[in-house]
């Protein structure tokens, strides 16, 4: 906080040297009233600029006199304001969306990649997300993020993110500022984010601004749409496995709006006709998004955002049996299933104190829960009814409050500061057993919740020093309180850019991160049995330090090129002891199942060439990297490759607007095979078991008294590599205007050349008792289709 006061005093002293005024306001979509996050604001006369924040608000302070302000956003026509600045002025700008074959907007300096201090980050538009070839007809935000250099998917079809050598728990996923603890559907093949409800997506892999904290490897910041302020609109989409739709519009025009979206699979409904009446099973998932947005007055605005989603696999069996000399039947019913769900809610208040000071107050709630249950009921003649059940669940709940302030004293400074408090309630595993028969040990419950409080504060300044140098310097301080444990973390952050010429800059960044929560995931089970647990007196928080350097260039205003090298060091990592974990043993402390104090390293180089404008859009990415782990208790204390270490990773995705009504898409990925541990030899062992009560055993008896067994020796941890992974996806869509809107047919092909990519490798013995390895693949060529209609 002393650093913040010092910066404010320095800025205030500089301001007295000249009379200046502030231009501020909001930048929105002219057709919907939606905030255009990250829009560029640039004064062509003073050559000063800024960008709109995550709420569409901008502020720029200039000297008194003539100004020529340009406003721009990718995919929209630019706008400008030319006038004489004599007082603080509020200008709200509504930009109009572009139409194909018309003027292409060129990015002004404020939003060009070489101008910003940001590095190791990328913003994905909603249109680009929808245009990338979809898996089984379902557009997926996280699968698009997996195509960015430095980001990997892990396994075939998974929506998980492994960023610069980190694990899936090290990603801070935010939906309207609320953490999401499990972002997967269908055992990881889809994410929970419905593209119909999304406004803006940003991924940060390094050079983290001080306002973010709590995770080591990445930030995925997703903003929901706010709802159309002008008119009622909607869309409906029918795909191979799911149907989704949304509706949005004004409650009070230009004052209050809403958006509601829903998605549900119908796998269970499609399989229902093929099932017997007495034996049923099914699976489905759904998502619900709802948001209300209200403008109180020019200085105050409130939002209420909600998300609810659920996955459920269920079964139910019924059968009857009869016994000899008994006419009555015994009836037996069994039922059960697996389900996991997220509930997210936030209430946000935006307030403009002055043209230079903007605040956002956010109250949030987040809950993730996983549950397995089974029930058994039996009714039999001459016996009491038997009712028994078992239920296991785990989860985490958060209640949080956050205050963020943006202070923009002049074009050379953009100061952000704030505080954040989270109350965590962890439920690492609760097992409940109930039975109507007391001899079976009726009504047992094991496991208990653990509470923790996490509080943080931050301050950062995006500071322009002269014409060429710009730095972002800040600090993030955090405290964590749990039972018998207290931790404090001081995390400096800085990033800079130095202009080499008008279109190219050199960049560097350094960030320290601390994560107070851990994720235990039994990946071998193939189920979302994720246990979130806090740092304790025995298990310290995870920590990471990352440094990155690079070059950024804007070429012909349409192409952005970046080259980055990074080195990341991680400390206090955890992993399972050899032999894994029994999640259902609630009598054992989870801390006894893990090894702690691990170290990790990840370093490499990333190249990204991106085109955001014109008929052809997309990017080409390449990553050269190495990632390792080291634990004293594992692999004899030697360093070993991380499971998802990939030396080479290539991704290419592009869309081509053939005409206003036809668009084609292509995606190609290549990656070095994942690392894994396999046996490298086996041998037979025999041991003699003395025969009891035999003074002189026969030869046959003596031979039969030997116990024979096979033993297997494993190679060093993760020393085996699967085959390389590669595939190509294609799509084409046909659109047409109709009386009440616009319809679109989309045909797509996943893995079009039918590559048998490795999913896992298993060991088996052949007829000669020799070990052989068999590779299993998951998805062959999969065609899909979808139909959508956008109402206007």
What's the rounded Cα separation, in Å, for the pair 412 and 461? 10
Average pLDDT for 503-509 = 95
Question: What would the mean pLDDT of 654-658 be, rounded to a whole number?
Answer: 93
Question: When comparing pLDDT for 698 and 281, which is higher?
Answer: 281
- Rounded CA-CA distance 74/126 in Å is 12
Least confident of 383-392, 565-574, 738-747: 383-392
Q: What does the alpha-carbon distance between residue 672 and residue 458 come to, in Å, rounded to a whole number?
A: 39
pLDDT of 700 higher than 50:
no
d(CA 622, CA 624): 7
Please compute the mean of the pLDDT values over residues 646-658 and round it to a whole number: 94
Most confident region among 88-102, 313-327, 347-361 by mean pLDDT:
347-361
The mean predicted confidence, pLDDT, of the chain is 86
Q: Looking at the predicted structure, is the pLDDT value of residue 385 above 60?
A: yes
What pLDDT is stored for residue 524 in this prediction?
Answer: 43
Q: What is the pLDDT of residues 57-67, one digit of tens each?
A: 999 999 999 99
Please identify which residue in the block is written with the tokens 């370093």. Answer: 603
Give the C-alpha separation, 783 to 201, whole Å: 28
Mean pLDDT of 500-516: 95
Compare 596 and 249 and report the one with higher pLDDT: 249
Per-residue pLDDT of 457-470, as tens digits, reads 999 999 999 989 99
Q: Provide, rounded to the nearest whole percent, the portion of the chain with pLDDT above 70.
A: 86
Residues 744, 763: Cα–Cα separation, whole Å: 47
Does the pLDDT of residue 427 top 70, yes or no? Answer: yes
Question: Using an 8 Å Cβ cutoff, are 631 and 575 in contact?
Answer: yes
Residue range 71-80: average pLDDT? 90
The three-class DSSP label of residue 686 is strand
Which of the pair, 434 or 16, is modelled with greater confidence? Answer: 434
User: Residue 249 half-sphere exposure, CB side, CA atoms within 13 Å?
Assistant: 10
Contact 348, 360 (CB under 8 A): yes
Residues linked to residue 569 through DSSP beta bridges, in sequence order: 545, 601
pLDDT grade for 759, boundaries at 50, 70 and 90: confident
Tell me which residue of 180, 233, 125, 212 sits closest to 346, measured CA to CA. 180
Task: Give DSSP secondary structure letters for 22-40.
Answer: EEEEEEEETTT--B-TT-E
Angstrom distances, CA of residue 135 to CA of 77, 153, 173, 666:
33, 14, 22, 12
State pLDDT tens for residues 619-629.
999 999 999 99
User: Phi and psi of 442, rounded to 5°?
Assistant: -70, 150
Q: Containing H/E element for 14?
A: helix 2-15
Position with higher pLDDT, 502 vs 321: 502
The two structure tokens encoding residue 722: 């699967």
Q: Give me the pLDDT at residue 104, please.
A: 46
- pLDDT score recorded for residue 41: 93
CB 785 within 8 A of CB 745: yes
Spatial CA neighbour of 199 closest among 75, 352, 367: 75
452 pLDDT higher than 90: yes
Q: Note the pLDDT of residue 103.
A: 43
DSSP labels, 574-610: EEEPTT---TT-TTS-GGGGEEEEEEEEEEEEEEEEE
Among 335-339, 424-428, 680-684, 749-753, the range scoring the smallest mean pLDDT is 680-684
Kindly report the pTM of this predicted structure: 0.88
Whose CA is closest to 83, among 68, 94, 71, 63? 68
When pLDDT is averaged across residues 557-569 and rounded to a whole number, the result is 93
Q: What is the pLDDT of residue 205?
A: 95
Q: Are the C-beta atoms of residues 54 and 37 closer than 8 Å to each other? A: yes
pLDDT at position 107 is 45
> For the chain, how far is it from start to end, CA to CA, in angstroms?
50
Q: What is the pLDDT of residue 527?
A: 52
DSSP code per residue over 697-766: --HHHHHHTEEEEEEEEE-STT-EEPPPEEEEEEEEEEEEEETTEEEEEEEEEESTT----EEEEEEEE-
- CA triple 657-660-663, angle to 5 deg: 35
Indicate whether 264 pLDDT > 90. yes
The predicted structure's pLDDT at residue 720: 84
State the Rg of the chain over Cα: 30
Measure the CA–CA gap between 84 and 607, rounded to whole angstroms.
44
DSSP letter string, 234-260: EEEEE-SSEEEEEEEEEEETTTEEEEE
What is the total residue count of the chain? Answer: 792
| CATH fold group of domain 121-222 | Ferric Hydroxamate Uptake Protein; Chain A, domain 1 (2.170.130)
Pick the CATH number of 20-106 from 2.60.40.1120, 3.40.50.300, 3.10.110.10, 2.40.50.140: 2.60.40.1120
Express the helix, strand and coil content of the chain in percent, nearest 5 each. Answer: 10, 60, 30
Looking at residue 376, what is its pLDDT? 87
CA distance 51 to 58: 6
Instruction: Please say if the pLDDT value at position 5 is more than 60.
Output: no
With CA atoms as reference, report the closest residue to 384 among 326, 437, 332.
437
Please choose, from the candidates 756, 763, 697, 753, the residue with its C-alpha nearest in 3D space to the C-alpha of residue 728: 753
Q: What is the pLDDT at residue 489? A: 95
- Contacts within 8 Å (CB) and 24+ apart, 758-763: 758/156, 758/673, 758/674, 758/722, 758/723, 758/725, 759/155, 759/156, 760/676, 761/676, 761/678, 761/720, 761/722, 763/678, 763/679
What is the separation of C-alpha 438 from the centre of its chain, rounded to a whole number of angstroms?
Answer: 46
Read off the pLDDT band of 125 (50, 70, 90).
Answer: confident
Query: Could you tell me if 376 and 386 are in contact, meaning their C-beta atoms sit under 8 angstroms apart?
Result: yes
- CA–CA distances in Å: residue 451 to residues 419, 448, 537, 626: 20, 10, 14, 37
User: Tell me, what's the pLDDT at 188?
Assistant: 78
Output 218 or 636, whichever has higher pLDDT: 218
Q: Encode pLDDT of 191-215 as tens digits.
A: 999 888 999 999 999 999 999 999 9
Q: How much is the pLDDT for 627?
A: 95
DSSP H or E stretch at residue 212: none
DSSP secondary structure letter of residue 402: E
CA–CA dist 79, 386 (Å, integer) = 74
Q: Which residue has the tokens 């990015």?
A: 107
Report pLDDT for 272. Answer: 84
pLDDT at 460: 97
Least confident of 307-311, 426-430, 722-726: 426-430
Helices (H), 176-273: 267-271
CATH code 2.170.130.10 region(s) in the chain: 121-222
DSSP bridge pairs for 790: 235, 742
Residue 591's pLDDT is: 80
pLDDT of 399-420, one tens digit each?
A: 999 999 999 999 899 999 999 9
């Amino acid at each position: 906080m002393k650093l913040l006061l010092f910066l404010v005093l320095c800025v205030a002293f500089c301001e007295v040297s000249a009379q200046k005024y502030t231009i501020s306001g909001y930048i929105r979509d002219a057709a919907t009233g939606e905030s255009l996050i990250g829009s560029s604001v640039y004064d062509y006369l003073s050559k000063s600029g800024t960008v709109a924040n995550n709420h569409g608000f901008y502020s720029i302070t200039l000297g008194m006199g003539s100004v020529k302000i340009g406003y721009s956003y990718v995919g929209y026509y630019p706008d400008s304001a030319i006038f004489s600045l004599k007082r603080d002025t509020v200008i709200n700008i509504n930009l109009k969306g572009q139409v194909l074959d018309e003027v292409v907007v060129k990015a002004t300096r404020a939003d060009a990649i070489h101008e910003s201090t940001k590095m190791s980050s990328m913003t994905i538009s909603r249109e680009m997300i929808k245009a990338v070839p979809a898996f089984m007809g379902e557009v997926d935000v996280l699968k698009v993020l997996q195509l960015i250099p430095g980001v990997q998917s892990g396994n075939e079809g998974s929506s998980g993110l492994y960023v610069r050598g980190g694990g899936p728990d090290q990603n801070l996923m935010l939906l309207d500022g609320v953490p999401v603890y499990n972002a997967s559907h269908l055992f990881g093949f889809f994410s929970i984010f419905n593209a119909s409800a999304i406004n803006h997506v940003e991924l940060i892999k390094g050079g983290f601004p001080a306002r973010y904290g709590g995770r080591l490897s990445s930030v995925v910041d997703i903003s929901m749409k706010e709802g159309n302020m002008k008119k009622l609109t909607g869309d409906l989409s029918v795909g191979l496995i799911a149907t989704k739709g949304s509706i949005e519009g004004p409650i009070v025009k230009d004052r209050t709006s809403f958006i509601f979206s829903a998605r549900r699979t119908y796998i269970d409904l499609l399989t229902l006709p093929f099932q017997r009446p007495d034996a049923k099973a099914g699976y489905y998932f759904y998502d619900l998004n709802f948001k209300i947005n209200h403008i109180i007055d020019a200085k105050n605005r409130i939002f209420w955002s909600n998300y609810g989603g659920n996955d459920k696999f269920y079964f139910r069996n019924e059968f009857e049996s009869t016994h000899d000399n008994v006419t009555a039947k015994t009836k037996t019913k069994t039922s059960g299933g697996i389900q996991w769900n997220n509930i997210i809610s936030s209430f946000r208040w935006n307030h403009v104190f002055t043209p230079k000071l903007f605040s956002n107050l956010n109250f949030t709630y987040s809950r993730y829960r996983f549950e397995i249950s089974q029930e058994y009921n039996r009714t039999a003649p001459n016996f009491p009814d038997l009712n028994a059940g078992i239920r296991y669940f785990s989860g985490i709940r958060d209640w949080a409050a956050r205050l963020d302030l943006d202070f923009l004293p002049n074009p050379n400074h953009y100061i952000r500061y704030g505080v954040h408090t989270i109350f965590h309630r962890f439920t690492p595993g609760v097992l409940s057993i109930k039975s109507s028969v007391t001899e079976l040990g009726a009504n047992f419950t094991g496991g208990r919740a653990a509470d923790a409080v996490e509080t943080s504060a931050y301050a950062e300044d995006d500071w322009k020093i002269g014409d060429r140098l710009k730095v972002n310097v800040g600090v993030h301080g955090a405290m964590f309180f749990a039972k018998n444990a207290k931790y404090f973390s001081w995390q400096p952050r800085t990033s800079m850019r130095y202009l080499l010429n008008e279109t190219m800059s050199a960049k560097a960044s350094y960030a320290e991160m601390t994560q107070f929560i851990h994720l235990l995931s039994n990946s071998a089970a193939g189920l979302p049995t994720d246990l979130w647990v806090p740092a304790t007196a025995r298990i310290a928080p995870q920590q990471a330090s990352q440094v990155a350097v690079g070059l950024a260039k804007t070429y012909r205003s349409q192409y952005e090129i970046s080259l980055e090298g990074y080195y990341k060091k991680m400390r206090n990592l955890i992993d399972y002891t050899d032999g894994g974990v029994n999640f259902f043993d609630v009598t054992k402390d989870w801390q006894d199942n893990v090894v702690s104090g691990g170290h990790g390293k990840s370093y490499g180089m990333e190249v990204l060439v991106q085109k955001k404008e014109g008929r052809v859009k997309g990017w080409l990415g390449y990553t050269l990297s190495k990632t390792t782990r080291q634990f004293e208790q594992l692999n004899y204390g030697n360093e070993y490759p991380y499971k998802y270490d990939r030396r080479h990773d290539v991704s290419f995705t592009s869309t081509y607007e053939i005409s206003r009504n036809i668009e084609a898409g292509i995606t190609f990925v290549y990656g070095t095979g994942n690392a894994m541990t396999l046996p490298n030899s086996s041998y037979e062992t025999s041991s003699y078991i003395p025969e009891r009560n035999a003074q002189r055993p026969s030869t046959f008896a003596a031979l039969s008294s030997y116990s024979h067994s096979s033993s297997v020796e494993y190679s060093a941890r993760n020393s085996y590599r699967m085959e390389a992974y590669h595939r190509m996806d294609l799509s084409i869509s046909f659109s047409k205007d109709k009386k009440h809107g616009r319809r679109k047919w989309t045909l797509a092909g996943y893995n079009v050349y039918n590559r048998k990519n490795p999913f896992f490798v298993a060991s088996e013995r052949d007829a000669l008792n020799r070990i052989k390895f068999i590779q299993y693949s998951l998805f062959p060529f999969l065609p899909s289709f979808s139909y959508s209609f956008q109402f206007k």
